[in-house]
Amino acid sequence: MKSPLLIDHPLVACHLTVLRDKHTNSTEFRQTVNRMTTFLAFAATEDVQTAELPIETPVQKTTGQRMIDRVGIIPILRAGVAMVDPLLNVIPTAEVWHLGLYRDEATAQPIRYYNKLPAADPVDLAFILDPMLATGGSACEACRALLQWGVKRIKMLAIIAAPEGIARLSTTYPEIEIYTCAIDRGLNEHKFIVPGLGDAGDRIFNTTGQ
């Protein structure tokens, strides 16, 4: 079982404070999610596979690098959508595939309602995106779908995570790498992360959850 990689950086802590603040408006919240995802993307792409590429600068011929991994970005609808653009900014050749999952409030179990993964030809490396890794149910369901697709390398990117979600994902799929900007205290009786940042989807899209 792999330990989660925690992005411990002063700028991350400052941006995380903005996300946690209940007075942060939807526009600023989205912008901050974008910035935090960029930090995660930088860490999670450290081991992407590259190959030498001969190029010519305005001065002389030289050698550069090109990425040879075929990368898939899989946002968990709906909050994960806000994390897509930062990944595409650093990996413009990445493919985006969508999984729709919601948590049954009575059982706290994930329900899959949408799946646009193709039947064959899996990517080399997949990034699952969700601002919050809470119970781990949706993350496990996403991993199950990607493994069924045939993806060999999967990384989970979550801005904040609860120990319960980390434990569940790591126990169920120990090969999955988890990247997060904060590991919070735990879950409350409603399965929300504490201290957390509220409902990320509602705050991103300026909805009330009603």
Q: What is the pLDDT of residue 1?
A: 61
Q: What is the pLDDT tens value at each position of the chain, 210 positions in all?
A: 678 999 999 999 999 999 999 999 999 999 999 999 999 999 999 999 999 999 999 999 999 999 999 999 999 988 999 999 999 999 999 999 988 876 666 666 677 777 888 888 999 999 999 999 999 999 999 999 999 999 999 999 999 999 999 999 999 999 999 999 999 999 999 899 999 999 999 999 998 754
pLDDT, residue 103, reads: 67
Q: In sequence order, what DSSP letters do the residues of the chain get, joined into one string?
A: -PPPEE---HHHHHHHHHHH-TT--HHHHHHHHHHHHHHHHHHHTTT--EEEEEEE-SS-EEEEEEE-S-EEEEEEETGGGGGHHHHHHH-TT-EE--EEEEE-TTT--EEEEEE---SS---SEEEEE-SEESSSHHHHHHHHHHHHHT-SEEEEEEEEE-HHHHHHHHHH-TT-EEEEEEE-SEE-TTS-EES--S-HHHHHHT----
Which pLDDT score is estimated for 105? 65
What is 5-46+69-205's CATH number?
3.40.50.2020
pTM given for the model: 0.92
Q: In this predicted structure, what is the pLDDT of residue 210? A: 45
Give me the active site residues, please.
Answer: 103, 107, 199, 202
Domain ranges (residues) in the chain: 5-46+69-205
Residue 107's pLDDT is what? 66
- The pLDDT assigned to 104 comes to 66
